[in-house]
Each structure stands twice: as structure tokens, then as C-alpha cells.
Amino acid sequence: MQPIDRKSFFDIYRVAFGPLLQGQVTGIEKLLAALEADPHITDLRWAAYIMATVRHETANTWRPIHEYGTRAYFIKRYGSQTRVGKELGNDTPEEGADYAGRGLAQNTGESNYEMAEQALRKEYPEVVARFEARTGRKFDLTVGDQPNDQRDPDNMLDFEISYCTMSYAMRKGAYTGVGLPRYIDGERCDFLNSRRIINSMDCAQRIADAAMKLHLALKKAA
């Protein structure tokens, strides 16, 4: 993505969405830098929809977060005894909590953590190497495949790990089987149905409205 003038962008953003706390500014700046450095993001409409997704999925914090709720809540919602848990690849009730949503796009379920782990090792070996150098830990996102790895899904809270997972999954359709090219390509730009990339049509109109405003801000600041 082409460089974005930060002052222009934030001036337009505040008119469209209102004032920002410093933590939100820091998060947006970090996301803009990642989008500018991402060779796979060349369409400002893709960038706008990714940003709108992050705004929604992180509860407007603009940083990787753990889904809100207790362990008991996640077991009840995502455990293997539920339809959703089965669809997400969770094999036990406890995995509903182990693999609760985390990140910039709320990566959820054992299947998605396994997908992210494999994709990052294959597509982003340099990101994995930086993570290991930065943390002093072996990169892993799943539990049960090495000693003392119960907290490994929390590695999805690392910004670079989370960003690359989101970029890959949204472009390739790794979450739901459909990706950004299905809805935003050439003359076609369907921000509303782009929500199907992440989570059916949950809050689709709200996210589409935000994407339109963000696209305008990016265009004017590019």
C-alpha cells in the first residue's frame, strides 16, 4: 500500500469517527505501518476493509486483544459439545477456552490456530524468526504438542503474529472459504458482504459503513 500522510489521515478520521485516545492513535499508526509494508495489500479498499475489521474486532482498541469473557463462558460457547465448537475444530469442552478469540481479527477455534501456525511458518518464516528472537521462545500457537505450552495460543496477541495471520486469512479465505478478492476486485467493491470473510453477516452494515469512511480517509491521505 502506498504511504499514508498521518496528519491528513487522522484529521479526516476524527471528523468521521470522533476523538481518539493516545492508545488508539498508537494502534492505528502501527496498523498503517504494517499495511504499508505488506506487499500483498495494494488496493486501498482492501486496506480500508481490514482496518474496519480491526476497529470492530478489537472493540475500537486497535490492538490485539483476547475476546472478552470467562473461561466458563468460552467452554459453554465454543466447547466441543456445541455446534460452533465442532465447526471450529475444538475436540474437548476445555478447548473452547484454550482457543477463544485472540488478535486483531479474533482468531477463534483450534482449526484456525493450527491454520495460522502452519501458514506463518510457511509464508512468513522471517516473522517467526523475529518472534523467536524477540521473545526467546519457540513459536507455537497450539497446546499439547510440546511441554508447558498451555499459554501458546496467547502468542496470537503479538502484533506482528496477529497482523500476518489476519492478512493471510482475509486474502486467502482461510477463515470461511471466501477472501477479499471475492468481494473487492476490479470494479467490484462490496464492503457489506465482505463480512463473510470473517463471521457470516454479524455487524456487517456497521463494519461496511466504517470501511467506506476509512477508504475515503486513506484515498485523501495517500
| pLDDT (tens digit per residue) in 126-140 | 999 999 999 999 999
Q: How many CB atoms lie within 10 A of CB 7?
A: 8
| pLDDT (tens digit per residue) in 14-62 | 999 999 999 999 999 999 999 999 999 999 999 999 999 999 999 999 9
Beta strands 184-185; 102-103: pairing state: unpaired
| pLDDT (tens digit per residue) in 141-175 | 999 877 788 899 999 999 999 999 999 999 999 99
Determine contact, residues 165/119, Cβ cutoff 8 Å.
yes
Phi and psi of 107, rounded to 5°?
-65, 120
Q: In the Cβ-directed half-sphere of 176, how many Cα atoms lie within 13 Å?
A: 15
Residue 146 class from Cβ within 10 Å (0-12 exposed, 13-18 middle, 19+ buried)? exposed
Q: How far apart are the first and last CA of the chain?
A: 9
> Region 89-116: what's the mean pLDDT?
97
Q: What is the mean pLDDT of the chain?
A: 97
Quick one: pLDDT band at residue 13, thresholds 50, 70, 90? very high
- pTM, 2 dp: 0.96
